[in-house]
Amino acid sequence: MLSSLFSNWIPQQPVYADDYYGHENTGIFREDFNGNTLDPKKWLIAAKQWGGMNNNGVVPENVKVQNGNLILEAHGDLYNGPVKGLYKPNKNKEDITPYHLAYNVDTVERGNKRVGAAVATKAYMGSGRYTMSAKIIPDLGVASTMWSFHYQEYYGSVATKNGVKVASGDPEYIRAFKEGRLLPGAGGVYPDYYAYNHEIDIELPGRPSGAHTGQTYDRALLNTFTGEADNEYTTIYANLAAKGIHVNDGNYHKFEYRWHTGGNGETPRVDYYIDDQYIATNTTTLPTNAGRLWLGVWFPDAWAGSSANFDVKQMAVDYFEFEPYHEPGDTWMPETFPDDGWEDSDFRPMTADAINTRWGTTTGEFRDNFDGTWLDTSKWKIAQKNWGGMLGNSSVNGQSWNGGVHPDNVKLDAQGHLVLEAHGDYYNGLPIGMNSNGVPRKDGRRVGAAIATSHYYGSGEYEIRMKIPKVITGPNNEGMPHGAVPAIWTFHYQEMDATSPEAQQFNVDPNADYWVSNNEIDMEFPGRPGPTHTGMTFNKALFNTWQGENETEYHTNYTNLGTNVSDDQWHTYKIIWQIADPAHQIAPYVQFMVDGVTKYTADASKFIPTKPGRLWLGYWFPKNWGGPANFSKAQLLVDYVNFKPYSTSGAMTQQESYPMTGWAASEQYPGYCVFPCSAAQTPDTQAPTVPTALISPSKTSNSVTLSWTASTDNVGVTAYDVYQNNTLLTTVTGTTYVASGLTANTTYNYYVKAKDAAGNLSAASSTLNVTTGVADTQAPTVPTNLTSPSKTDTSVNLSWTASTDNVGVTGYEVYKNGVLSATVTGISAVVSGLTASTAYNFTVKAKDAAGNLSAASSVLAVTTNAAVSNMLQNGTFSSGLVSDAALGWKNTKTGVSDVTGGTLNLHPTTVDIAEVEQAVTVTSGQAYKLTGDMWSTGDPTYGYVYIYSGSQIIAQDFTNATKSLNLVFTATSNQIRVVLQAYKQQTGVFHFDNLNLATN
């Protein structure tokens, strides 16, 4: 589907020059880490590796928010848990041949030891006071750190001209060369870039001097950087013990630096403080560029100690605070790689534990209900790219069939729905589309929308509830194509050398330029009967599984859904993906479901993907198979997305070739802001008030009724969590609940918490102790006066006199010939599905809430009426077709319909529908049953049965094989039409016989 998804991408928007905190009169930035997850408007979570060959980077799973603390976890040499790290063999100048890396891939998943954690502010911060209160890790081998960081690369080269070294390229590269800051490496060769590395550090443990020996927590490293060369940074080896400071005592300590860039009477410098004691001042190699503030624990190669003799250790950060100085010496320019190395580039699949850690949940499932006015950047990325077909010679004009997908078409409707908007050929407005080469088009036609998860997911259950718009409806209420395609897909893309082992598994020509590993699962609408791009309707779907891009590397199932899903109604779509896991003897498959019904299952032979990818939701314009875009504007609504992970032990976890290309800038997200936000954008962190007046107005031996006074909230209370015996029992939206299934004469305690749409939870209400009543063992009295006021050939109406009970009768059980037939709450019942002219014995028993059952009533014998004759004329097709549908079967379409040998035969063609119908007089509100035989011969051909009331279909069935028809329905008017049909784009013959319509 997306063969050019990453090769045809749109450059990202730049980070704007005012995107740093403190450039105006903004106040103090303070984070107390309350709640259960990091605020994505304030913080980024790192997923990257640096610092040499002997560590495995920092990963999001090691970042947690608990009990008012940010927890940064480090896994040492004794760790044997499931969390694995990240590693960059290229950066560490290894031989990368054994890794068989795909193109543009620089990171691999590696071992579980020496894995740390780090976060950074989303906003850039300049001169000011930076304060962290934290319990550091007291063990050697790992560094506990706070630092400011801003990084830029300027490219160029140095050559010899007339015996003189001369630099060319970016002006900053040339300036660094002239000022002696660009230094040659081994052999006198100059690097092809110069880096501005504006950085300030507090790092623990420290040491007495430059040699990597004598590490201790009685010392600290206090650094300032302006570049990467030895003459571009300064380190102070601070002796904390000399000042009576011991930071490895398991207590919170206050770490602070005050960064002055100069002006307003201030001298450029960095002053360092610990526990409010002045430690040192640095006045050389002072940075001026505003940078992001980082907090982290990580494993340097040598300077924190050579051994990390521990399992799991944690640095707990109580708060971070930044007071901006707004000094004239502050400078700002965008970083070279501002979006690299964060959690949205982490290609390792999310596990249940990782999901709970990231978003503070307990279910182990990823879910977004799209509440609020801001699309959460910790969960989603918005696409800004183009794929799906070219016009003419793409290498010459770059003109695309469609205008791509644009972030302006991604919206939230403030009613709990994601909106993906598509603009057709009748649209005349913004946004303007773009071609695959990034050049803007001249109009906004055929421009869609798409988002993808920030994280990667593997085996599991992907459930999406969405509403596909009704744009064009066909003559038989089928949803016709309108050019735009609603789609759900998982996607992982790599380009690799055609000689790589993975490519050779698919017998790729080793002389090819490259081979694409395209691991993908699709649910695409509309579908069609077969490969030819004809006959598209929203009654069908395309269900695809891919491992590559060639014809022999993917499979499409052309699925008949049996219903039109472009009906402006909510439908639930689910993909169940099981990656092969030979170690646990698990076979791969992908199951496609609509509204809880399995529509198709792809087995191991159907190219089941093996690589976890992002989940995509889109509404876009393919070139050939989506149909003409004969509309102006349409909206695809998404109510929720839910993912339940399975084990991914059989997955191939690999980085994509272009994981961070083709996305919209953060500023283009709906409701986006970088803290501090305007009042309309500020996240809701205020919890509702505590529920009060919790009481139990009634109870039984096995149930307790609870009620309480409603809470209030600054935005609005959305639900209440009810706890029984200190365990969450249920969540309700009202202020009452009935706890059932309890034990008689037993004491239970209850309390309630209120919550809002942002997930803020109130404190618990007061606890209420309730003892259930003594067990009720008395049965109700026997029902009397059992009679049958009416009957038909297939049903019997029953009524009786009510029973009584010491507590209360809750229902009645109706028995037919001694077998339970129905349970009702009233004193009447209808027993249906009976045989004509047959005697039946009926009895009734009363029951109460405790399950006590009365004795049976007296037996009532009833004989059903004689059978009603077939309401259809010529149901056995003993005669031919007629010209009046009120008198029998009438041909109503251009396809051939005939009767031979007592059988109806429908002969569709690629352009003709074969169809007959019969009008039948019925009774509105009466239940009926249509039975008979239906089957296909020749090429597999679908046959349909429709029951119409006016223009409304009230019942239907279909098959492309052999089926015994048994269609039950209730008439909604006094006349119906029975329609038998074989749709066009089919070349076989479909048959009907022995049709019978009678009351049910």
Do residues 508 and 624 both lie within one domain? yes
pLDDT tens digits for 45-61? 999 999 888 899 999 99
pLDDT at 705: 95
Least confident of 115-124, 183-192, 851-860: 183-192
Burial class (CB in 10 A: 0-12, 13-18, 19+), 179: exposed
- CATH code (residue 703): 2.60.40.10
Confidence bin at 240 (pLDDT 50/70/90): very high
Structure tokens at 649: 């032990």
Structure tokens at 313: 């250790």
Domain-located, residue 180 = no
Structure tokens at 81: 């848990």
Give the up-direction half-sphere exposure of residue 134: CA atoms within 13 A in the CB hemisphere.
29
Q: Single out the residue in 709, 734, 767 at which a domain terminates.
A: 767
Do residues 842 and 948 both lie within one domain? no
| Cα distance between residue 562 and residue 634, in whole Å | 24
Confidence bin at 35 (pLDDT 50/70/90): confident
pLDDT at 773: 87
Interval 515-520 mean pLDDT: 92
Q: Are 268 and 283 in contact (CB under 8 A)?
A: yes
Confidence bin at 13 (pLDDT 50/70/90): very low
pLDDT tens digits for 466-496? 999 999 888 887 889 999 999 999 999 999 8
Interval 17-43 mean pLDDT: 74
Domain-located, residue 83 = yes
Beta strands in 7-57 (DSSP E): 20-21, 29-31, 43-45
Q: Which residue has the higher pLDDT, 346 or 333?
A: 346
| Cα distance between residue 981 and residue 992, in whole Å | 10
pLDDT at 22 over 70: no
pLDDT tens digits for 410-432? 999 888 899 999 999 999 999 99
Do residues 498 and 583 both lie within one domain? yes
| Through-space distance between the first and last CA atoms of the chain, rounded to whole angstroms | 48
Check residue 735 and give left, alpha or beta (phi > 0: left; psi -120 to 50: alpha): alpha
Cis peptide before 659 (omega within 30 of 0): no
| Cα distance between residue 670 and residue 666, in whole Å | 9
User: What is the total count of domains within the chain?
Assistant: 5
Check residue 378 and give left, alpha or beta (phi > 0: left; psi -120 to 50: alpha): alpha
For residue 574, give Cα distances in angstroms to 489, 557, 601, 922. 11, 16, 12, 39
pLDDT at 461 over 70: yes
Domain-located, residue 187 = no
Write out the H or E segment, with its range, that includes residue 293.
strand 292-298
Do residues 24 and 86 both lie within one domain? yes
Do residues 719 and 816 both lie within one domain? no
- CATH code (residue 933): 2.60.120.260
Burial class (CB in 10 A: 0-12, 13-18, 19+), 507: exposed
Which residues share a beta bridge with 979? 917, 946
Burial class (CB in 10 A: 0-12, 13-18, 19+), 330: buried
For residue 7, give Cα distances in angstroms to 203, 405, 875. 41, 15, 60
3-state secondary structure 57-82: CECHHHEEEECCEEEEEEECCCCCCC
Interval 348-358 mean pLDDT: 93
Residue 174: what are its φ and ψ, rounded to 5°?
Answer: -65, -40
Confidence bin at 11 (pLDDT 50/70/90): very low
pLDDT at 952: 87
Q: 982: helix, coil or strand?
A: strand
- CATH code (residue 31): 2.60.120.200
Do residues 859 and 723 both lie within one domain? no
- Amino acid symbol at 12: Q
Q: Are 448 and 464 in contact (CB under 8 A)?
A: no
Q: Are 987 and 909 in contact (CB under 8 A)?
A: yes
Q: Are 662 and 668 in contact (CB under 8 A)?
A: no
Q: Which residues, other chains included, contact 889 with Cβ-Cβ below 8 Å and sequence gap of 6+?
A: 873, 874, 877, 881, 882, 899, 904, 916, 917, 918, 980
| Cα distance between residue 22 and residue 128, in whole Å | 8
pLDDT at 18: 36
Helices (H), 245-365: 352-359
Check residue 93 and give left, alpha or beta (phi > 0: left; psi -120 to 50: alpha): left
Domain-located, residue 409 = yes
Do residues 625 and 523 both lie within one domain? yes
Domain-located, residue 965 = yes
Task: Give the pTM.
Answer: 0.68
Confidence bin at 25 (pLDDT 50/70/90): low
| Cα distance between residue 203 and residue 198, in whole Å | 16
Interval 853-857 mean pLDDT: 95
Interval 254-279 mean pLDDT: 96
Query: Which of the listed ranges 134-148, 617-631, 869-883, 978-992 does the model predict with the highest average pLDDT?
Result: 134-148
Do residues 395 and 273 both lie within one domain? no
Do residues 389 and 483 both lie within one domain? yes
Q: Are 436 and 594 in contact (CB under 8 A)?
A: no
pLDDT tens digits for 182-229? 888 878 899 999 999 999 999 999 999 999 999 999 999 999 999 988
Least confident of 190-194, 248-252, 372-376, 556-560: 372-376
Domain-located, residue 351 = no
Do residues 730 and 833 both lie within one domain? no
Confidence bin at 974 (pLDDT 50/70/90): very high
Do residues 849 and 995 both lie within one domain? no
Q: Single out the residue in 313, 333, 353 at which a domain terminates.
A: 333
CA-CA-CA-CA torsion sign (469, 383, 413, 690): positive
pLDDT tens digits for 63-94? 999 999 999 999 999 999 999 999 888 765 66
Helices (H) and strands (E) in the chain, counts: 4, 59
pLDDT at 15: 35
Domain-located, residue 338 = no
Cis peptide before 205 (omega within 30 of 0): yes
pLDDT at 2: 39
Confidence bin at 400 (pLDDT 50/70/90): confident
Residue 702 belongs to domain spanning: 692-767
Q: Residue 619: which of 469, 472, 479 has the closest Cα?
A: 469
pLDDT at 970: 93
Domain-located, residue 411 = yes
3-state secondary structure 228-248: CCHHHEEEEEEECHHHCCCCC
Q: Are 615 and 642 in contact (CB under 8 A)?
A: no
Do residues 378 and 308 both lie within one domain? no
